């Protein structure tokens, strides 16, 4: 039985920043458990630029961004185990893991930081009918083939879903010589950044078909084509608008799911909206001493926010090891248009700096307000020219504001017309 003060599950951007946070807070007996053969997580395959503008004030590629954190982990002499898969964990923080060197590992931790990231929603989860031939990949799988292995999964491509990974892969495949026929998006708006729509699609003349979906998949051995159709206001395909597009590859960019199977085994309470744990301001879950950060908590658009959040989660875990207890004093309610908030609970007493409330909205709102209520009193009323489901919002509550409301019983976040 190995014993650690803090075990960090996952060595991607969240786990790296959490480890650094914990170490900087004075805890040395830490271990990062990483299932892949290197640290850095998904950033290693995100070779495009655009990372780090908030954190480093410069534009880095994914591997470069990861390198900065990996180097820091090495400089701080934080231990890690690669090729190590965590198989089980209970609410007493007993962890079972396995790797080739140690065999089956039994680990006891005082605190655990969940940083396992997310996975892509596969075809089955959206039940697209048709052939089960080769040539259908999630965008991230294709990205790994191209950027890590150096192999092209296809030549004539249709992409379903206009999230950022889908858009990035449209450009990437094009630059490697493939023909991207279309990006097909079910919703009337794209879930991706404007910048990506312009620089990944418009620059290369790739059509973005909004309010469209794929209704059938054809091909015997390898994909031969897909049927697309417009959808009505209920998102149901309009039969008469069906159109066949020949292609050998279909990439799916239809959403990310926080990977919380392990969290469930430790009785960590999950949000039915995000699929991630419900945490408080210190990133602690409902289980004492189990913290969560990064995409396992809720799916982010920007890695910079993952790093920021995770650094803070690492520090909270370190303080827990040193005796600090956390509690879910009051609940933050997500109402009218706000789908969820992170954190979900807050204890105003222990916040010594500002409190960031992050959330997503469920629809596109123009010229609306984001309001925050402490009990019945509206304390924040921010005009927003646009709110979209694709962009995570952050509202900062200053320490001074929090101190003015020590007796607050509940916080509510809303989108309001005026």
Partner 1 sequence: MTEKREIICIGCPIGCMLEVSMEYNEVEVVKGYSCIKGKNYALKECTNPTRIVTSSVKVINGELNVVSVKTESDIPKDKIADCIRELRGLEVEAPVKSGDIIIKGVAGTTCNIIATKSIEKVL
Partner 2 sequence: MFDVVIIGAGVVGCSIARELSKYDLSICVCEKSSDVASGSSKANSGIVHAGFDAKPGTLKAKLNVKGNKMFDRLAAELDIPFRRNGSLVLCFDDSDTSHLHELMEKGIENGVPNLSILSRDEVLSLEPKMNEDVVAALYAPTGGIVCPYEMTIAMAENACSNGVQFLFNQKVINIIKEESTFLIQLENEQIESKIVINAAGVYADEINNMVSAEKIEIKARRGEYCLFDKAAGALVNMTIFQLPTKLGKGVLVSPTVDGNLLIGPNAVDSEDKEEKGTTKEGIDEIIKKAELTMKNIPVRQTITSFCGLRPRCTRDDFIIGEAKDVPGFINAAGIESPGLTSAPAIAEMIEEMVVQILAPGRKLDFNPIRKGIPKFREMNHKERMALIAKDSTYGKVLCRCETITLGEVLSAIRRPLGAKDLDGVKRRTRAGMGRCQSGFCSGKIVKILAKELGLSEADITKFGGNSKILLGENKEISEK
- Applying CB under 8 A, which residues contact partner 2? 35, 83, 85, 87, 96, 98-104, 106, 119-120, 122-125, 127, 129-134, 138, 140-141, 144-146, 148-155, 176-178, 215-218, 220-222, 248, 261
Q: How far is the CB of 327 from partner 2 (least distance, A)?
A: 30
User: Which of partner 2, partner 1, none does 157 bind, CB closer than 5 to 8 A by kind?
Assistant: none
Nearer to partner 1, 30 or 173 (CB): 173
Which pair of structure tokens corresponds to residue 240? 């008469």
Q: How far is the CB of 415 from partner 1 (least distance, A)?
A: 15
Q: How far is the CB of 58 from partner 1 (least distance, A)?
A: 11
Nearer to partner 2, 49 or 96 (CB): 96
Q: How many residues does the chain have?
A: 418
CA angle 250, 274, 256 (to 5 degrees): 20
Rounded to whole angstroms, the Cα distance separating 299 from 312 reads 17
Cα torsion 348, 111, 84, 311 to 10°: value is 30
Query: What does residue 229 show for φ and ψ, rounded to 5 degrees?
Result: -150, 150
Query: What does residue 188 show for φ and ψ, rounded to 5 degrees?
Result: -75, 0
**Cβ proximity of 13 and 303 under 8 Å:** yes
Which pair of structure tokens corresponds to residue 378? 């509206």
Nearer to partner 2, 153 or 166 (CB): 153
User: Which of partner 1, partner 2, none does 104 bind, CB closer than 5 to 8 A by kind?
Assistant: partner 2
User: Which of partner 2, partner 1, none does 59 bind, CB closer than 5 to 8 A by kind?
Assistant: partner 1
> What residues does 393 pair with on adjacent strands?
359
Q: Where are the alpha helices (DSSP H) in 247-388?
A: 261-265, 303-321
Binding site for partner 1 (CB under 8 A): 44, 47-49, 59, 61, 63-64, 67, 146-151, 175-176, 193-195, 197-199, 202-203, 366, 385-386, 388, 390-391
User: Which of partner 1, partner 2, none does 215 bind, CB closer than 5 to 8 A by kind?
Assistant: partner 2
Nearer to partner 2, 141 or 364 (CB): 141
Q: How far is the CB of 50 from partner 2 (least distance, A)?
A: 21
Nearer to partner 2, 42 or 66 (CB): 42
Rounded to whole angstroms, the Cα distance separating 34 from 15 reads 9
User: Which of partner 2, partner 1, none does 48 bind, CB closer than 5 to 8 A by kind?
Assistant: partner 1
Q: What is the 3-state secondary structure (H, E, C) of 38-64?
A: CCCHHHHHCCCEEECCCCCCCCEEHHH
* Residue 101: partners with Cβ closer than 8 Å, 6 or more residues away: none
Nearer to partner 2, 284 or 295 (CB): 295
Nearer to partner 2, 21 or 161 (CB): 161
* Residue with token string 């003015």: 404
Q: How far is the CB of 57 from partner 2 (least distance, A)?
A: 32
Nearer to partner 1, 68 or 265 (CB): 68
User: Which of partner 2, partner 1, none does 130 bind, CB closer than 5 to 8 A by kind?
Assistant: partner 2
User: Which of partner 2, partner 1, none does 152 bind, CB closer than 5 to 8 A by kind?
Assistant: partner 2
Q: How far is the CB of 48 from partner 1 (least distance, A)?
A: 5
**Cβ proximity of 409 and 375 under 8 Å:** yes
Cis previous bond, 339, omega within 30: no
The greatest distance separating any two alpha carbons of the chain, rounded to the nearest whole angstrom, comes to: 67
Q: How far is the CB of 152 from partner 1 (least distance, A)?
A: 11
Nearer to partner 1, 77 or 366 (CB): 366
Q: How far is the CB of 363 from partner 1 (least distance, A)?
A: 13
Rounded to whole angstroms, the Cα distance separating 272 from 249 reads 33
Cα torsion 24, 25, 30, 36 to 10°: value is -50
User: Which of partner 2, partner 1, none does 2 bind, CB closer than 5 to 8 A by kind?
Assistant: none
Which pair of structure tokens corresponds to residue 367? 């010229």
């Amino acid at each position: 039985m190995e014993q650690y003060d803090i075990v960090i599950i996952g060595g991607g951007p969240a786990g790296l920043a959490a480890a650094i946070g914990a170490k900087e807070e004075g805890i040395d007996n830490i271990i990062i458990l990483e299932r892949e053969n290197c640290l850095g997580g998904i950033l290693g395959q995100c070779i495009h630029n655009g990372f780090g503008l908030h954190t480093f004030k410069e534009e880095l590629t994914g591997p470069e961004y990861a390198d900065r954190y990996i180097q820091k982990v090495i400089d701080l002499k934080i231990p890690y185990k690669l090729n190590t898969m965590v198989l089980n964990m209970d609410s007493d923080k007993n962890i079972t893991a396995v790797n080739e060197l140690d065999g089956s590992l039994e680990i006891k931790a005082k605190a655990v930081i969940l940083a396992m990231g997310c996975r892509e929603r596969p075809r089955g989860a959206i039940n697209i009918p048709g052939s089960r031939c080769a040539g259908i990949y999630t965008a991230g799988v294709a990205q790994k083939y191209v950027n890590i292995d150096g192999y092209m999964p296809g030549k004539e491509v249709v992409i379903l879903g206009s999230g950022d990974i889908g858009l990035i892969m449209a450009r990437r495949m094009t630059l490697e010589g493939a023909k991207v026929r279309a990006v097909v998006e079910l919703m009337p708006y794209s879930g991706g950044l404007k910048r990506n729509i312009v620089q990944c699609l418009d620059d290369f003349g790739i059509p973005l078909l909004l309010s469209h979906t794929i209704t059938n998949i054809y091909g015997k051995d390898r994909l031969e084509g897909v049927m697309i159709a417009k959808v009505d206001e209920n998102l149901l395909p309009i039969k008469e608008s069906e159109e066949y597009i020949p292609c050998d590859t279909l990439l799916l960019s239809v959403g990310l799911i926080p990977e919380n199977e392990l969290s469930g085994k430790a009785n960590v309470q999950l949000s039915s909206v995000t699929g991630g744990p419900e945490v408080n301001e210190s990133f602690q879950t409902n289980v004492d001493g189990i913290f969560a950060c990064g995409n396992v908590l809720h799916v982010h658009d920007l890695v910079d926010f993952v790093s920021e959040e995770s650094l803070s989660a690492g520090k909270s875990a370190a303080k827990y090891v040193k005796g600090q207890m956390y509690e879910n004093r009051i609940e933050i309610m997500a109402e009218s248009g706000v789908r969820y908030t992170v954190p979900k609970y807050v204890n105003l007493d222990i916040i010594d700096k500002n409190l960031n409330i992050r959330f997503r909205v469920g629809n596109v709102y123009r010229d609306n307000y984001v309001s925050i209520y402490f009990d019945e009193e509206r304390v924040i009323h921010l005009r927003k020219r646009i709110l979209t489901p694709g962009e995570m919002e952050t509202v900062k509550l200053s320490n001074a504001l929090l101190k003015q409301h020590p007796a607050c019983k509940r916080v509510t976040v809303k989108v309001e017309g005026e």
